[in-house]
Amino acid sequence: MTDFDYDLFVIGAGSGGVRAARIAAGYGAKVAIAEEHRVGGTCVIRGCVPKKLMVYASQFSEAFEDAEGFGWSVGETSFDWSRLIAAKDREIDRLNAIYIRNLTNSGVELFQSRAVVEGPHEVRLSAEDRVVTARLILVATGGTPWLDTELKGIEHVITSNEVFYLKDMPKRVVIAGGGYIAVEFAGIFAGLGADTTLVYRGSEILRGFDGEVRTFVRTEMEKRGVKFVFNDVFTAIDKGPDGLTATLRGGTTLEADQILFATGRRPAVEGLGLEAVGVEMDAVGAVKVNHESRTNVPSIYAIGDVTNRVNLTPVAIREGHGFADTVFGGKPVHVDHTLIPTAVFSQPEIGTVGLTQEEAVAAFDEVDVYRSSFRPMLATLSGRDERMFMKILVDAETDKVLGVHVAGHGAGEMAQLLGIAVKMGATKADFDRTVAVHPTAAEELVTMRTPSERLRRDAAA
Ligand code: NDP
């Protein structure tokens, strides 16, 4: 029997923390969880889920236009931001209630409170001003948007925390950053009809993704009306009677109703008390953990974005589940962070798994590139100037598929299934002997017979 109040105390009821708590409780552990905001965490409350609902909302403008080519006459259309936000909020409320119910049904005790680590086994609950003890503590606090607080006028910008709750739809939007959030919201606002400009310090969006995919997506976004300013950064943001003015280092000024900063996220460790108990963190504040998600303090574990390994919801869930299986289920799990399929809900959407062309050429002597760019069937009758892009990278020596990259409708759905094949170690011959599903865009993935080119490591060096 334990001398502690709990076997496990989880700090943070986001996707990862909730999964860990429920699985541990399922193994018979006495579990509590604390959440200072809303149960569900970033992904459910102010991330992936509301974002995807807003992506859907923004796609109707194209659908109305495309419908004409299929014989429809679409009358005058209008969009009501407050109705979208209200509908989105109702859905988030529903999911929040499900999360709470699932925790309760699993026997997990929920504290709506900030929790601060006060010792290797002690957690202070701020809302109740008392300390509880636990044999193990799991830190699952996620991340928070990072802002350059030195920038003049930074107090006028919004982050992904606020963008979901704006009272009015901004007519002119400036977005800072070239990562997932910046690119996804550029698509959302442009689709909803806002004048949208993305400002990025580099020369192409989505660093880390396949080079051709980056350029393809940016070009397609330009066709949809998004404006890009590259190789520039903000020097000041001023508020005037007619809105905000962003001044860039290059001298450009941009007028906006809202300026969204999506310049990355940082692990949420501030004021958590981790330093005081000796938990090691890296330079950006990420909690250092081993393959079992254990910190250097044996009774304290950490999972998800607070550990800054691969910052994606399904990875946090996997880490949380693996932790509970290992520690409470007697089933040691070593979470595999390789070949994680992922999607960016940009417009066009990206679905990808495995190495980029740049990574493949750096790691393998000869890489065959199978590439296809075509007009999607929907665009034939709609007349829309739109293309789809696909690429398969193959190790020429072993025929193994190293990476697959898709940009266009349904790319995210494709990535999930491509992820299975690539994870299983599929060869190009496996792709080739798979019968096509016709007529789909995805069939192109099993019908590319001849490499577009063979890249050699020496030539690329
Ligand atoms: P990202 O890390 O994807 O992108 C941050 C962007 O901000 C980069 O373009 C970066 O530039 C730029 N940046 C960073 N610091 C500065 C600076 N000082 N000045 C100017 N620009 C700067 O972060 P996001 O905020 O877009 O997203 C956070 C995380 O959320 C992602 O890591 C992702 O894992 C997750 N996410 C996943 C989604 C999905 O799976 N679909 C959707 C949304 C978020 P540079 O590239 O030059 O460093």
Over the stretch 313-370, which tens digit does the pLDDT of each residue have? 999 999 999 999 999 999 999 999 999 999 999 999 999 999 999 999 999 999 999 9
Going by pLDDT thresholds of 50, 70 and 90, the confidence category of residue 460 is low
- State the first-to-last Cα distance of the chain, in angstroms, to the nearest integer: 61
Compute CA distances 276 → 43, 117, 122, 132, whole Å.
Answer: 29, 8, 12, 17
Q: Residue 322: which residues within 8 A CB-CB, separation 6 or more?
A: 292, 293, 333, 334, 335
Give catalytic status of residue 409 as yes or no: no
Quickly count: other Cβ atoms within 10 Å of residue 72's Cβ.
Answer: 11
Asked whether the predicted pLDDT for residue 2 surpasses 70, the reply is no
Ligand 1 pocket check for 180: Cβ under 6 Å: yes
Question: What pLDDT shows up at residue 246?
Answer: 98
Do 6-145+266-327 and 154-263 agree at the fold level? yes
Cβ of 14 below 6 Å from ligand 1 = no
- What does the pLDDT average to over 6-26? 98
The finding on whether 323 has its CB within 6 A of some atom of ligand 1 is no
Query: Which pLDDT belongs to residue 367?
Result: 98
Q: For residue 180, which atom of ligand 1 is closest to its CA?
A: 26
β pairing state of 453-456 and 366-374: antiparallel
> Per-residue pLDDT tens for 48-100?
999 999 999 999 999 999 999 999 999 999 999 999 999 999 999 999 999 99
Catalytic pick among 156, 321, 334, 438: 438
Atom of ligand 1 nearest to the CA of 263: 7
Q: 159 CA to middle of ligand 1, Å?
A: 12
Nearest CA to ligand 1 atom 14: 263
Q: Answer whether 117 contacts ligand 1 (Cβ < 6 A).
A: no
Q: Does the domain at residues 154-263 carry the CATH identifier 3.50.50.60?
A: yes
pLDDT value of residue 457:
86
Interval 225-254 mean pLDDT: 97
185 lines ligand 1 (CB under 6 A): no
Tens-place pLDDT, residues 390-446 = 999 999 999 999 999 999 999 999 999 999 999 999 999 999 999 999 999 999 999
pLDDT at position 216 is 98
pLDDT digits (tens, 9 = 90+) for 160-216: 999 999 999 999 999 999 999 999 999 999 999 999 999 999 999 999 999 999 999
Q: Which CATH number fits domain 6-145+266-327: 3.40.50.1100, 3.40.50.300, 2.40.160.10, 3.50.50.60?
A: 3.50.50.60
Pairwise CA distance, residues 337 & 27, whole Å: 25
191: left (phi over 0), alpha (psi -120 to 50) or beta: alpha
Give the Å distance between the CA of 39 and the centre of ligand 1. Answer: 24
Q: Where are the domains of the chain?
A: 6-145+266-327, 154-263, 342-451
- Asked whether 177 lines ligand 1 (CB < 6 A), one says yes
**Confidence at 383, pLDDT banded by 50, 70, 90:** very high
366 CA to middle of ligand 1, Å?
Answer: 31
Q: How far is the CA of 179 from the centre of ligand 1 (A)?
A: 4
- Quick one: pLDDT band at residue 26, thresholds 50, 70, 90? very high
Q: Give 214 Cα–ligand 1 centroid separation in angstroms.
A: 14
Would you say the CB of residue 311 lies under 6 angstroms from ligand 1?
Answer: yes
pLDDT at 381: 96
Cα distances from 363 to residues 48, 419, 421, in angstroms, run 32, 20, 21
Please report, rounded to a whole number, the percentage of residues in the chain having pLDDT higher than 70.
99
* Residue 461: pLDDT over 70: no
- Which residue from 265, 306, 317 has its CB within 8 A of the most atoms of ligand 1, so it is best to mutate? 265
Average pLDDT of the residues of the chain: 97
* Residue 240 in tokens: 């005037």
Is the CB of residue 207 below 6 angstroms from any atom belonging to ligand 1? Answer: yes
Is 182 touching ligand 1 by the criterion CB < 6 Å?
yes
Asked if pLDDT for residue 230 goes beyond 70, the answer is yes
State phi, psi for 204 to the nearest 5 degrees.
-155, 145
* Contacts for 231 with CB less than 8 Å, ≥ 6 apart: 200, 201, 202, 203, 250
Contacts of residues 314-319 at CB distance under 8 Å and 24 or more positions apart, as own/partner, are 314/340, 315/340, 316/14, 316/15, 316/16, 316/19, 316/140, 316/142, 317/15, 317/16, 317/19, 319/16, 319/293
Superfamily name and number for 342-451: FAD/NAD-linked reductase, C-terminal dimerisation domain (3.30.390.30)
Q: What separation in Å is there between the alpha carbon of 133 and the centre of ligand 1? A: 37
The percent of residues in the chain predicted with pLDDT above 90, rounded, is 98
| Nearest-atom index, ligand 1, CA of 342 | 40
- Could you give the CA distance from residue 322 to residue 314 in angstroms, rounded to a whole number? 12
Nearest to 365 by CA among 392, 395, 339: 395
